[in-house]
Structure 1
Amino acid sequence: MRFKVPLQRLMCHSVQREVALLNPAVQCHLPLVIPLRTKKRYFIPKTDDAKKHTIDLEALSRAAGVVTQQEYMERAINISCTAGIFDPYVPPEGDARLSKLSKEGIKQRTEQLRQSAASQLAQIREHDPKFNTKEFPSRAMEIFVEAHNSLAQFNKEKLHKLVTERCYPDMVRGNRYKTIHWKFVESLESPRVVHARCPDMVSKGNLYGQVTLRIHYKQIVAVYDRFGRLMLGDENEPRDVLEYVVFERHLKNPYGCWRLHGKIIPDWAPPKDPIMKTVMIPGPQLKPWEEFKSHNNEVSKSEGV
């Protein structure tokens, strides 16, 4: 059913709209849209309100008296080597300086026999049948020389195979901006085994073999700083060195091998030579329009550098 709207009524409504648009009182209430350039706003992700309303089940179970599993802070450890030297060898005072026929020399020899008698060579031979106190010093000496040559050349891959994870940081610490020259000259005395221990770590039966080797040899060492200036030693002057070097092997590992583990420095050892450090001589304070003249820059002897 259709309804007919009179034409006069439609014309009346259109006239009323036009009159309303021309009325200034009506125009002031019309919304004005003015485009403005605002600051660029980056996307800000919405916060996850769901986390605020989560229920801590562990706290509720703890309040209810339910025993929960304790969390442990785990730290990775390395079982391929030990963290130190167990029962270190005590070098006799005056070693390599006393005659074996003197009273002090006989006392020194007796102390060496006492310490070696308490060693645990039998357990090492049980896990390493090739170990022999007569043949081991020559093998250990080759490891010692190769390790120091790799350190001078900074061959990291080869050095990791020759030294333990405990010894590696001690050898490379502070050598980043230095140049090292090292050379093995000759052995003054044949190296020999003076001490052996077989400790366990982590669990009983996880055995490690530690053998102390006495090495008396002659070497050439020179250390240069990053400017090429000599800090320690001399390339043209070989020096006599007496060291007590500890080698270690993980006996329970069938693929383990003997590696350099550390050195024993006795209390009576003489102090090391001081390091010659490179210092900067302060020059004159120049103004922006002045120039530096070398013949005028003389440092008096009374002033300390």
Structure 2
Amino acid sequence: MAMSMRRALLPLCRIKCNNLKNAESPLDVRFPLPFAVLIRTKKRFFIPPATGVKAKMASLDDQAAKARAAGLVVRQEYMERSINIACTAGVFDPYIPPEGDARLSSLSREGLKQRTQQIKQGAATQLAIRKIKEHDPEFTTKSFAVKAQEIFVEAHDSLTQFNKQKLHSLVTERCYPEMVRGNRYKTLRWRFVESLEPPRVVHARCPDMVTKGNLYGQVTVRMHSRQTLAIYDRFGRLMMGSEEEPRDVLEYLVLERHIINPYGMWRLHAKIVPAWAPAKEPIIKTVMIPGPELKPGEEFEDLHYEVPKPKAVQWHK
């Protein structure tokens, strides 16, 4: 009986195979879609990642729902921002300049009070200097003050010449945008005339950031000098200052260095402006003032029109 059934079905199979060989291959070849197989682990089920058309079409929400149903823990995605460890984001324990500095004599009564307060507050400064000397044995307050003044002069010369490569090596990533902001389409003329008093270190801090032992050195230098500054707008007109008239400038510069970095360098980090400092001079901006409407045949000179002068506007950089 079995042999008879086999003989009866064998011709039918041969006919079907011949028809398949003679038929043309279809253009739309559909491959089987991938499928997920549950694999038993110690505690949870694991679904192998799917590949192919189905995985591309599946949305992220569907994948997360399937993962939760299978007992998987999906890691939350965080928006990570890049950080810069070459410098800090501010000034740690900023120095508070005494009121009337560079005006009061050290022999006067108020000058002696300020001097005694600076000596009392110098304990933290001496501790920070010791930490800096552990990583930089050649560091001295006397030589560093002169070096800080040289860095200050070179940085401002690079700013007037728009030398970005050299300016980046002299100032930190925090100080750079503050120096170049608002200087586009302007011409700067700056010159260091002389130093009225020798620069000296008045403040120092050596904090650690992120991890213990990751030290950053911040040293505040007092610099009293004479400088000239002139700013011209894009039309070549003077906005502020003068190139011929030097002025006395008292500044407190903060220099920073990544102490544990053997290739680190001291760079200009910030400038401390005391609360009692006088306000900046107003800037004269170039504006277009509409003139009178002329009739046909009239000339502007015949009207004797007086052009009003623009008012000075207080502007802070």
Structure 1, gaps ≥5 residues long: 1-47
Of 207-216 and 128-137, more deviation after overlay is shown by 128-137
Identity %: 67
Structure 2 counterpart of 1:115, one-letter code: Q
Q: Give the structure 1 partner of residue 109 of structure 2.
A: 103
Q: Which amino acid aligns with 1:138?
A: V
3-state DSSP of counterpart to 1:131: coil
Task: Provide the residue aligned with 1:159 in structure 2.
Answer: 167
Instruction: Provide closer, same or farther for how the CA distance between residues 292 and 165 of structure 1 changes in structure 2, counting only shifts above 3 A.
Output: farther
CA RMSD in angstroms comes to 2.3
**Distance in structure 2 (CA, Å) of the matches to 1:239 and 1:208:** 34
Partner of 2:91: 85
Task: Spell out, residue by residue over 1:13-57, the C-alpha distance to the aligned partner (whole angstroms, 9 max, x if none).
Answer: xxxxxxxxxxxxxxxxxxxxxxxxxxxxxxxxxxx9985456833
User: Structure 1 residues 303, 253: closer, same or farther in 2, change over 3 A?
Assistant: closer
Preserved contact between residue 192 and residue 226 of structure 2 (Cα < 8 Å): yes
1:298 equivalent to 2:305? Answer yes
Q: What is the rounded CA distance, in whole Å, between the counterparts of 1:83 and 1:285 in structure 2? A: 55
Q: 1:267 and 1:103 mapped to 2: Cα distance?
A: 22
CA 72–181 in structure 1, closer or farther in 2 if over 3 Å, else same: same
Whole-angstrom CA distance in 2 between matches of 1:169 and 1:228:
24
Counterpart Cα distance in 1 of 2:143 and 2:310: 59
Aligned residues: 256
Measure how far apart 1:299 and its partner are. Answer: 3.7
Residue of structure 2 aligned with 1:198, choices 194, 206, 209: 206
Q: Deviations along 1:190-219, whole A, 9 cap, x unmatched?
A: 000000001122222111000000000000
**Contact 1:284 / 1:297 at 8 angstroms: preserved in 2?**
no
Q: Is the 8 A contact 2:294 2:300 kept in 1?
A: no
User: For the residues of structure 1 that align with 2:285 and 2:109, how far apart are their CA atoms?
Assistant: 44
Amino acid corresponding to residue 247 of structure 1 in structure 2: L
Give 1:71 shift: 1.6
Q: 1:199 to 1:64 in 2, by over 3 A?
A: same
CA contact (8 A) 2:221 2:253 kept: yes
TM-score normalised by the chain length of structure 1: 0.78
After TM superposition, which residue ranges in structure 1, 4 or more long, deviate above 3 angstroms? Answer: 48-55, 299-305
Pick aligned residue for 1:144 from 152, 164, 183: 152
Once the two structures are TM-superposed, the CA of residue 304 in structure 1 deviates from its matched residue by 8.5
Q: Relative to structure 1, is the Cα distance of residues 80 and 63 closer, same or farther in structure 2, using a 3 angstrom cutoff? A: same
Matched residue SS, 2:116: helix
Structure ID, larger Rg? 1
Task: Decide whether the 8 Å contact of 1:127 with 1:252 is kept in 2.
Answer: yes
| Structure 2 unaligned blocks of 5 or more | 1-52, 313-317
CA contact (8 A) 1:211 1:248 kept: yes
Q: Letter of the 2:174 partner, please give it.
A: R
- Amino acid in the other structure paired with 1:137: A
Shift of 1:302: 11
Measured in 1, the distance between the counterparts of 2:311 and 2:111 equals 48
Taking a change above 3 Å as real, the CA distance of residues 234 and 300 of structure 1, as seen in their structure-2 partners, is closer
With over 3 angstroms needed to count, the CA separation of the structure-2 counterparts of 1:53 and 1:271, relative to structure 1, is closer
What SS is found at the alignment partner of 1:57?
A: helix
Cα offset for 1:280? 1.3
Change in CA separation of 1:206 and 1:51 when aligned onto 2, cut-off 3 Å = same
The structure-2 alpha-carbon separation of the partners of 1:300 and 1:169, relative to structure 1 and needing over 3 Å to count, comes to closer
- Equivalent residue of 2:81, what SS? coil
Aligned pair 1:233/2:241, yes or no? yes
1:275 to 277, 283, 289: 283
Query: For structure 1, which segment, 272-281 or 262-271, has the greater mean C-alpha deviation from structure 2 after superposition?
Result: 272-281
CA distance in 2, matches of 1:111, 1:165: 33
Question: Contact 1:115 / 1:195 at 8 angstroms: preserved in 2?
Answer: no
**Native 8 Å contact 2:239 2:283 kept in 1:** yes
Match of 1:254 in 2: 262
Q: Work out whether residues 256 and 267 of structure 2, in 8 Å CA contact, stay in contact via their aligned partners in 1.
A: yes
CA distance in 2, matches of 1:102, 1:250: 40
> How do 1:1-305 residues align onto structure 2 when only pairs under 5 Å count?
51-52=56-57, 56-119=62-125, 120-285=128-293, 290=296, 293-295=299-301, 296=303, 298-299=305-306
Distance 1:191 1:173 in 2: 27
